[in-house]
A and B are shown apart, each in its own frame.
Chain A
Amino acid sequence: MLLALVVVRWFRRAFVAVEVAGESMTPALLPGEYLLLRRARLPEGETVFGRIVATRDRSGRLLLKRVIGLPGESLRVGAEVQVNGRVLIEPYANGESAVARYRGVQRLGAGEHFLLGDHRDASTDSRDFGAVHHSRIEGVAVYRYWPLGRGGRLRRPRRRFAAAE
C-alpha cells in the first residue's frame, strides 16, 4: 500500500496528463488525444531537436510545439527552414508557409529554443512569440495514451538536412 502511494506520488511529480486542443500539431497530434508530459528540464544538445514540448503563453495557457532550433543556431524560417544555412528536411511538417510569413534570420541565444507547430499554416509559435528559453519549457511530450489505437511513445524525428547544391 505504501509502495503504491510512493509510486503514485512519484508519477504525479514526474508526469502530467494533458488533452490536446487545436490543430497546429497535426498530423503528429490530433485534437482530443491524451498525452503524458514528462516534467523535466530540457537536456542540452541535439537530442532536444524534434521533441514536442510544452510552454505557457502570456495568458497562462499550456502550448504544445516542436523544437526546431537549438541554442546558438541561426535560423531562417520561411517556406522552408534553414539552420545555419542548411535546409532542414521536415517530414513531420505540413501546410505551406506563406511567403509573407518569412521572418528573416534569427540567431538563438544561450538556452533559447525555436518552437514551431507542425501545421505551419495554422500555428502560432516562435515565428510570432519569439524563441523560448529552456527555463520556460515545462515538459516534454513522451507518451500518447488515448486513443488506444494511436497510443505509444512519441518518438522524435532524426534531424536531417538537404544535400548542398
Chain B
Amino acid sequence: MNIQTVVQRLLRPAETAYAHCDIPCGIYDPGTAQLAAESVEKMMTLMADGDASDINSQARYIAIKELNAEAVKHEVRIIWGDFMKPPDLATTPDLHDVVWEIMRLGSACRQGTNVDDAKALRAKVDEFAGIFAKVKATR
C-alpha cells in the first residue's frame, strides 16, 4: 500500500453524496433509430405519392420527416459515442463509415425529398443495428 492510498483512506469521508442517475445507465437500443428511419421513409413515400396541392398534409409529412431524420442521427450518435469503444473496431472495422453514411443520409433526408435517400438511410440504420448486436454479443 503506497502513501497516497494511505492518505486517501485517512481523508475518506464517512458520507457519500450521489451525483446519480436512477435510469439504469448502459441501456442502448438501436430500435428507436430504426423506427425513426422507417418513419422518414414512410413520410417521404407519402409526399411522393400524395397530392402536392394538399398543403396541410404535405406540411405534416415534412415536419415528421424532419423530426425523425434528426432523431435517427441523435440515437445513432449516442450509441456510437457512448456504447462503442475503440477496441470494437477490431471486430467492426466499417463502424465509422456506416455512422458517417447515416449522418450524411439523415441530413439528405432533411434537406430533400428523394425517397431513395430514405431507403438508403433505413438500410444503413439496419446495418448499424446489426453491428450493434454483434458488438453487444461480445460484451
Contact = CB atoms under 8 A, between A and B. Distances in A.
The B interface, classified by DSSP as helix, strand, loop or mixed, is: mixed
Given A96-B74, A98-B74, A121-B78, A19 B12 contact: yes
A34 B21 CA distance: 19
Contact of A24 (B12, B20, B71, B74): B20
A140 B109 CA distance: 48
Contacts of B21: 22-24, 117, 119, 122-124
A128 B23 CA distance: 11
Interface residues of B, number: 21
B16 interface: yes
Contact of A35 (B17, B74, B78, B82): B17
A61 B11 contact: no
Nearest to B22: A124
Contacts of A22: 18-21
Contacts of A14: none
Contact of A17 (B8, B13, B19): B13
22 contacts: A17-B13, A18-B15, A19-B12, A19-B13, A19-B17, A21-B17, A22-B18, A22-B21, A23-B19, A23-B25, A24-B20, A25-B19, A34-B11, A34-B12, A62-B17, A62-B18, A63-B17, A64-B18, A96-B78, A121-B78, A123-B19, A124-B22
